[in-house]
Amino acid sequence: MIRRGAAWLTVLAAVVTLGGCRGVQTMLDPAGQQARDIDVIWRVMLAVCGVMYLLVLAFLAWALWRARRARDARDGPPVTGESPADAGLGRGLTGWTALIAAGLVGLTTVSFLVDRSLADVGPSPIHIRVTANQWWWQADYQGDAPSENITTANELHLPLGRPAVIELHANDVIHSFWVPNLAGKVDLIPGRTNYVAVTPKRLGVFRGQCAEFCGWQHAKMAFDVVVEDPKAFAAWMARQSASAAQPASFEATLGQSLFESKACVMCHRIQGANAGATVGPDLTHLMSRRHIAAGALANTRGDLQAWIADPQGVKPGTRMPRVPLSSSELNAIVTYLETLS
């Protein structure tokens, strides 16, 4: 009875575990060419190593069964010398060695082909420079036209089907760029330039996560990747390259002057306002993003207020200091930020 219960529990655990194979942050649900390539090698490795593992277990079981049978058949210890079964041992070993060699050659071939595919970026890629900071991401799109040069933070947009070459930099310590649904992980290393190619093959919003321990808030160093059709991407690009509009309401105008006179302006840039610092994320189109604080909070009025009122409470150790503000000042600044669409 207990055994049967354990078997059912195992099946249930497997179902629950496999249920986690779909989602916005999993390499088991590839939505990019590179992730698909990696998925192929993963499946081949799993199959080959799984078969090898089962064979080893089967031979072990057979050896145990054989030893027990030999012991039962005789009085005294099993005889380890010549027996009819041993005649096949040499042939068995030869076959086993051939199997291992075939497995290794197969894995090497698949690895070679996948590496070749990963190195082949494809025609007319878009270029993005991503810079990792403790603990947020800056993205600079580098196009041919001025309207294709935009700066944003913690959210990438990519057109479906078109390759993107992402140049990876780090400002402080080593981080790692990883969007499991789209591509493999690549480190961002201070003083060094790395690259990762991403060719999205499915529409959707995927989650990226820093994959190299980089300090206290490493876990809260995430970003969104929005894969959209080329038209929607062009529209997003056009909106991002525009300057922020002047706020219309009194409270938002007050918020802007507070933003420009308090410590906010020491770190953030808002194109179109008197704010040009680049220490923290560019806020020109803040409200177009899904999250704030590098995925730590949703981008809602309440979360914006909470974040500005007490950044260290939300994300201890973050470089964003608490700026002393009255509640009406905080409200005005958030009202201004909400105009940054």
Of the ranges 86-94, 151-159, 208-216, 285-293, which one interacts with ligand CUA (CB under 6 A)?
208-216
Residue 319 found at the interface with ligand CUA (CB under 6 A): no
State whether the Cα torsion 316-320-325-327 is positive or negative. negative
- Nearer CB in complex with ligand CUA: 138/271: 138
Q: d(Cα 27, Cα 266) in Å, to the nearest integer?
A: 39
> Which tokens go with 294?
């590098």
- Do 206 and 24 meet the contact criterion of CB atoms below 8 Å apart? yes
Q: Which is nearer to ligand CUA, 130 or 275 (CB)?
A: 130
Q: Please, what is the minimum distance in Å from the beta carbon of residue 175 to ligand CUA? A: 3
Tell me which of 36, 218, 262, 319 binds ligand CUA, using CB under 6 A. 218
Among the candidate windows 191-199, 207-215, 266-274, 322-330, which touches ligand CUA by CB under 6 A?
A: 207-215
- Which is nearest to 100 in space by CA: 42, 39, 134, 53? 53
Closest contact distance (angstroms) between CB of 169 and ligand CUA is: 13
Report the number of secondary-structure helices (H) and strands (E) in the chain.
8, 14
**Beta carbon nearer to ligand CUA, 136 or 259:** 136
Of the candidate spans 50-58, 206-214, 222-230, 317-325, the one that interacts with ligand CUA by CB under 6 A turns out to be: 206-214
Task: Measure the N-to-C terminal CA separation of the chain; round to a whole number of Å.
Answer: 62
CA distance 218 to 214: 5
Binds ligand CUA by CB under 6 A, chosen from 139, 156, 198, 214: 214
Which of 112, 213 has the CB closer to ligand CUA? 213
**Site size with ligand CUA, rule: CB under 6 A:** 9
Contact residue for ligand CUA among 114, 166, 210, 252 (CB under 6 A): 210
Residue pair 318/311 in contact (Cβ under 8 Å)? The answer is: yes
**Minimum distance from residue 214 beta carbon to ligand CUA (Å):** 3
Q: Hey, which residues between 219 and 238 contact ligand CUA (CB under 6 A)?
A: 221
Give me the sign of the Cα torsion angle 259, 261, 267, 268.
positive
Alpha-carbon distance of 178 to 155, in angstroms, equals: 13
What is the spatial distance between Cα 177 and Cα 136, in angstroms, rounded to a whole number? Answer: 11
Q: Which residues, in sequence order, are CB contacts of 147 under 8 Å at separation 6+? A: 237, 238, 241
Nearer to ligand CUA, 155 or 212 (CB): 212
Q: Which 84-143 positions form the footprint of ligand CUA (CB under 6 A)?
A: 132, 135
Stretch that binds ligand CUA, among 65-73, 212-220, 309-317, 332-340 (CB under 6 A): 212-220
Considering beta carbons, is residue 188 or 252 the nearer one to ligand CUA? 188
What span, in angstroms and rounded, lies between the C-alpha atoms of 119 and 111?
A: 12
Of 114 and 294, CB closest to ligand CUA: 294
The residue among 30 and 295 lying less far from ligand CUA, judged by its C-beta, is 295
153-182 residues in contact with ligand CUA (CB under 6 A) are 175
How far, CA to CA in Å, does 311 sit from each of 24, 261, 340? Answer: 27, 19, 20
Residue 77 CB partners (closer than 8 Å, separation 6+):
71
User: Which tokens hold the place of 318?
Assistant: 């973050």
* Given 29, 37, 155, 212, the residue binding ligand CUA (CB under 6 A): 212
User: What span, in angstroms and rounded, lies between the C-alpha atoms of 252 and 230?
Assistant: 34
Residues that bind ligand CUA (CB under 6 A): 132, 135, 175, 210, 212-214, 218, 221
